[in-house]
Structure 1
Amino acid sequence: MRLRSSSIRAKIIALLLVPIVALVGLWAYATLVTTGDFWNQFTLASTYKAFGQPVDQVVRDLQNEREAAVVRLARSRAQGVQDDYLKAQQATDQDALILQRAAVGQDTGKLDASQRARLQELLKSLGQLAQLRQQVDQESLSWQFTLTRYNEVIAPSFPFRSSFLTRQSGQLPRQGTILIELARARDYLAQEDAAMEGVLGSDNPGVLQYQAVLDPMHHQQALFSVYIGELDEPDQSEYQALQGSDAWGAVAVMEREYQASDNPADVLHSINEARWHSSADQLLDQLTAENTKLAGALGDRARSYAMGLLWRGLTAGGIGLVAIVLSVVISLRIGRGLVRELVNLRNTAHELAERRLPSVMRLLREGQPVDIAVEAPELEVGAAEIGQVGRAFNAVQRTAVQAAIEQAELRRGISAVFVNLARRSQVLLHRQLTLLDTMERRTEDPAELEDLFKLDHLTTRMRRHAEGLIILSGGSPGRAWRKPVRLVDVVRAAVGEVEDYARVIVRPFPSTGLLGSAVADVTHLVAELVENAAVFSPPQTQVTVQGEVVAHGFALEIDDRGLGLSEQALAEINQRLEVEQPFDLADTDRLGLFVVSRLARRHGIRVSLRASAYGGTTAVVLIPRELLAEVPGPVAGAAPGVVPGAAGAPGGPPAGGRAPGGRQRELVAVAGGAAGPGG
């Protein structure tokens, strides 16, 4: 997972997820280990019940069959020995069959590899019984060797029992070892009993026969003396009580008498056969009962130990689960709180950058007062590190707003300076125009009159540029009329303020008038468009101005024969004319367009550019009906299609000694000065 480009929420989640996953993993591992020990002990107990008890029964059957075989060989002519041997075989075969069925049953899967191997060794040894029984029936073996062969068949049962101890835990392996060794001691006692039956059944026992009793006797005495003392209470007390029983004492006395015999043949006289038989059988039964009781107690301890493991595991697992839940809850609360603070900081920063600061800048551009506390309040995002970041944003916000306010005040100050200078220049130019008008009326010399006309025209253009500076500074030119003025006179006055006025052709106009409040601005607007058309067209071409009344007002079309503009340039200029744009001091090449855009929005006039049929550009000015008015009387001016004063040669003085500048001065007046017609 690549977190470098991820969101802060994803990073915090990943940061919290790592320790939580590790904690859950440790909890799951500990729970599995604890419950695994429980299931291991529980499965071990059920497995031993399925296999251990049948094995114990088979071993007891083999011990009885072993004794019957020894008696069968030692007293072959005695009555009933053969039947006893056959009954012992049947009991062994019956229980062996149960063990073999268990070995191929569904519980076999619970055994591990070692246990299965030990079980197969035991079953393999049981397979030797058929040959051994045949040899016993044929009396081809001595009872001593037969005893040894049966011992070999029984021997694999003890490793099989011991294989269960490796999977136990706690004190169970120790108690299980003691129980196995006590069972081994009982087997030695059973061997001793069988050998004693063989010795007592012999007419003249030899040294080997004597030793066949003595060896298992020593083994069982050693095992009992060691492992009874290792038993825990109350098992030890019960076994010690068994040692104090009559049967145990009688067997011990006869064992001492047996060992005290100097000659093996003396055993026949020192040992009472009936007493030995009854005492040994009684003691073996008591040992079987005691070992079975110990096995049951050990099984109970195993189940109790398993349940203890389960409860400890459940307790630890429950505590671990509670800890995990608390960790998750605390982590989620901390993480959500941190994410909430960061998201709040992000949203507040976005709001600052996308809404508040642009709103403040818009208000400042519009010249409206700005309350910093209302328009740019401080961010409230906490008191920690994120709060410090928020306070840093507050400082940046205050600095940015304060700088914007200072810049706006600086721009307003500069605009005020420009307006002041422009108005001073406007007053001086008005006085200069008045003086020129007086001089024009007084002189009769054509050459001087021509120079005065040129100076008059230059002064008029200078006044328009001064008014443009006032408009760019957000002010009003200062000229106004009380009564409507014919649109044709407004257009002619605008043409008179253009340098190449001689190239401009004004088509016939309807007798439609314009409200006096819009005369100065419309004159300036048309003059800017006409001058733009004249500047960006070849000097030998003409610029045509025509107008007509349309459904939505009065439409003026200013058509040049220049090189034209591309569609992209036209779209850009129309966008600039339609949508209010902030004045860019660096864009000095299009000051006229900015003046036109501002004047048009002031009166609701729509101005657009389009490609001309002559290859140049056509400017369309749509004056709304609200600005139109009726003006009584005929349309003033010269012949149709010609600007007054432009009938003569281009650039020369007009016929009758009047220039366009003189005529338009009669129309256009400075506020506070003399008014022209209708003024």
Structure 2
Amino acid sequence: MRTPRTTTPGPGAPAGRPATPPRGRRAHAGRPADERPGPETGASAGRRPRHGSLRPRTVRAKIISLLMVPVVSLLALWGFATVTTAQDVARLREVRRLDTTVRGPVTEAVRALQDERTAALRQLADPGTGHAATLRERAGRTDAALKALSIGGGHTVADAGLLPVGTAARLTAFLDEVKQVRTVRTRLLSPSRNGSGAPPATGTGGPDTAAGRPAGTETPSAYTQYGDAVTAALGVCGSLTGIQESETGSRTRVLLELTRSGEMLAREESLLASAAPKGTLDAEGLRAFAGAVAARRAFADTAGADLPGPGRQAWRELTGRDTYARLEAAEDTVLAVPAGRRAKAVPVASWERDAAAVRTQLRA
């Protein structure tokens, strides 16, 4: 056993007490020892953050740093959702504006032009005050529908610079075709055509004194001019599908094909109306009728198969009705009659009634 180390007390020191406290003990009196940290080395110096370090030093700073990542991520998601929603709202407002200013008036103009075309061909086939009055009334409906596209001063919405470039160009082309239609209308409503001595507009008769051309060539010209105008109008509606979302645009294109099918049916109606007075279709008229029938059925079959759920069911109900069956049977009957022969097997009144019903259901 090691004996404790002792020192000899100095002179004047109390006996029995050491001159200095034992090593390792602190004095209980006097100035506190200097406890400032000295220079550190080794591992302890590496663990202590240096001045300017991004490592949090307090518990509060550590909690804040842990919360920053989800908070910043949430703010980024909110910002993205806000921008996306704003873009969708702006696109929806643009689509609604174009529907109001362009699509609606053009659709009404198409319907009016289709009805006016039938009246025009009747006036060509059988000139008279009665048919002229019908043509004048339907022409007024066409002008009223086109008036919605005007912005005053002889300008149209195509001149306002508020439409997509493609839509504005097609709308201008459509309005140019309408000008040609008005020229045909004016010629058909001339006084020389409304008297009892007006020359016939179909067949191979003498020259037409009002138009200065053979009468047999005027019916195809009028039919073609009205058809070109309607086709240009449907082109305007087709250009508007490009600014819609992919799903909505696809559905709109299907409905546009149904609209084209309705246009082909309207062409058939106008051709039969022009043949009603004599009950005949010449070779050119029969070819036009056959082309309209083929196009109508192609558009209808393609669009009907691509319609979404409720629309497809409505299409099946339409094609399953007796009206639609009678319409197709009448088309086949007309196609089976040779050109130049009388086509009394298809009464025009029943045909027009069935065709009007089918066109209404197609629009619905």
TM-score, length-normalised on structure 1?
Answer: 0.38
Q: Which residue of 2 aligns with 1:236?
A: 312
Q: Which residue of 2 aligns with 1:35?
A: 86
Which amino acid in the other structure matches residue 288 of structure 2? A
Match status 1:156 vs 2:232: yes
The structure-2 alpha-carbon separation of the partners of 1:21 and 1:144, relative to structure 1 and needing over 3 Å to count, comes to: same
Q: 1:93 aligns with which of 125, 137, 143?
A: 143
Percent identity over the alignment? Answer: 21
Q: Which residue of 1 aligns with 2:341?
A: 266
1:213 deviates by 1.2
Match status 1:53 vs 2:129: no
1:287 deviates by 2.5
Q: 1:134 aligns with which of 155, 167, 186?
A: 186
The 5-angstrom pairing of residues 482-493 of structure 1 reads: none
- 8 Å CA contact 1:69, 1:143 repeated in 2: no
Match status 1:120 vs 2:172: yes
The structure-2 alpha-carbon separation of the partners of 1:226 and 1:203, relative to structure 1 and needing over 3 Å to count, comes to: closer
1:162 deviates by 1.5
Which amino acid in the other structure matches residue 87 of structure 1? E
The 5-angstrom pairing of residues 539-554 of structure 1 reads: none
- 8 Å CA contact 1:70, 1:143 repeated in 2: yes
Task: Specify the SS of the correspondent of 2:281.
Answer: coil
Distance (Å, rounded) in 2 between the aligned partners of 1:167 and 1:203 = 47
Task: Specify the SS of the correspondent of 1:271.
Answer: coil
1:240 deviates by 1.7
Distance (Å, rounded) in 2 between the aligned partners of 1:33 and 1:11 = 37
Distance (Å, rounded) in 1 between the aligned partners of 2:358 and 2:227 = 20
The structure-2 alpha-carbon separation of the partners of 1:189 and 1:38, relative to structure 1 and needing over 3 Å to count, comes to: same
- 8 Å CA contact 2:181, 2:225 repeated in 1: no
Which amino acid in the other structure matches residue 68 of structure 1? A
Q: Which residue of 2 aligns with 1:422?
A: none
Distance (Å, rounded) in 2 between the aligned partners of 1:125 and 1:11 = 75
- 8 Å CA contact 1:207, 1:264 repeated in 2: yes
Deviations 1:153-189 (A, max 9, x none): 1112122112221122242111101000100110010
1:24 deviates by 5.8
The structure-2 alpha-carbon separation of the partners of 1:222 and 1:37, relative to structure 1 and needing over 3 Å to count, comes to: same
Task: Specify the SS of the correspondent of 1:160.
Answer: helix
Distance (Å, rounded) in 2 between the aligned partners of 1:59 and 1:164 = 16
The structure-2 alpha-carbon separation of the partners of 1:162 and 1:72, relative to structure 1 and needing over 3 Å to count, comes to: same
Task: Specify the SS of the correspondent of 1:269.
Answer: coil
1:10 deviates by 11
Deviations 1:188-232 (A, max 9, x none): 100111011112334653211211211111110111112112111
- 8 Å CA contact 1:188, 1:217 repeated in 2: yes
Distance (Å, rounded) in 2 between the aligned partners of 1:142 and 1:104 = 30
Distance (Å, rounded) in 2 between the aligned partners of 1:110 and 1:28 = 29
Deviations 1:259-308 (A, max 9, x none): 222x22334232222222222223223333x1xxxxxxxxxxxxxxxxxx
Which amino acid in the other structure matches residue 67 of structure 1? T
Task: Specify the SS of the correspondent of 1:128.
Answer: helix
1:88 deviates by 1.1
Distance (Å, rounded) in 1 between the aligned partners of 2:170 and 2:331 = 34
Q: Which residue of 2 aligns with 1:173?
A: 249
Distance (Å, rounded) in 1 between the aligned partners of 2:157 and 2:347 = 48
Distance (Å, rounded) in 1 between the aligned partners of 2:84 and 2:162 = 18
Displaced runs of 4 or more, over 6 A:
9-12, 18-23
TM-score, length-normalised on structure 2?
Answer: 0.67
- 8 Å CA contact 1:188, 1:219 repeated in 2: yes
The structure-2 alpha-carbon separation of the partners of 1:155 and 1:31, relative to structure 1 and needing over 3 Å to count, comes to: same
1:21 deviates by 8.4
- 8 Å CA contact 1:67, 1:193 repeated in 2: yes
Task: Specify the SS of the correspondent of 1:101.
Answer: strand
The structure-2 alpha-carbon separation of the partners of 1:41 and 1:212, relative to structure 1 and needing over 3 Å to count, comes to: same
Which amino acid in the other structure matches residue 95 of structure 1? A
Q: How many residues align?
A: 278
Which amino acid in the other structure matches residue 201 of structure 1? P
The 5-angstrom pairing of residues 87-486 of structure 1 reads: 87-101=137-151, 104=156, 111-137=163-189, 138=210, 140=213, 142-202=218-278, 204-261=280-337, 263-288=338-363, 290=364
Q: Which residue of 1 aligns with 2:8?
A: none
Structure with the greater alpha carbon radius of gyration: 1
- 8 Å CA contact 1:181, 1:227 repeated in 2: yes
Q: Which residue of 2 aligns with 1:528?
A: none
- 8 Å CA contact 1:189, 1:216 repeated in 2: yes
Which amino acid in the other structure matches residue 112 of structure 2? D
Which amino acid in the other structure matches residue 134 of structure 2? D
Which amino acid in the other structure matches residue 47 of structure 1? L
Q: 2:121 aligns with which of 56, 63, 70?
A: 70
- 8 Å CA contact 1:181, 1:223 repeated in 2: yes
- 8 Å CA contact 2:112, 2:142 repeated in 1: yes
Distance (Å, rounded) in 1 between the aligned partners of 2:54 and 2:101 = 55
**Which shows bigger deviation, 222-231 or 126-135?**
126-135
Structure 1 spans left out of the alignment, 5+ residues: 1-6, 291-679
- 8 Å CA contact 2:149, 2:157 repeated in 1: no
